Amino acid sequence: MHIAAVLELEEHQLPQVAALAAAIEAKANEWMDVVKTGRTHLMDAVAIDGRPGMVGLGAPDPRCAGRIRASETGLFELAAGGTAVGTGLNAPPNFGREIADKIAELTGFPFATAPNKFAAQAPSTRWSRQWRRCAGSPLA
pLDDT in tens, 47-97: 877 777 666 655 666 777 788 888 888 889 998 876 766 677 788 888 889
Categorize the per-residue pLDDT at 109 as very low, low, confident or very high, splitting at 50, 70 and 90: very high
Please report the pLDDT score of residue 140 as a whole number: 42
CB-count burial class (<10 Å; 0-12, 13-18, 19+) for 133: middle
Give percent of the chain above pLDDT 70: 86
3-state secondary structure of 89: coil
28: left (phi over 0), alpha (psi -120 to 50) or beta: alpha
CA dist 21 and 34 (Å) reads 20
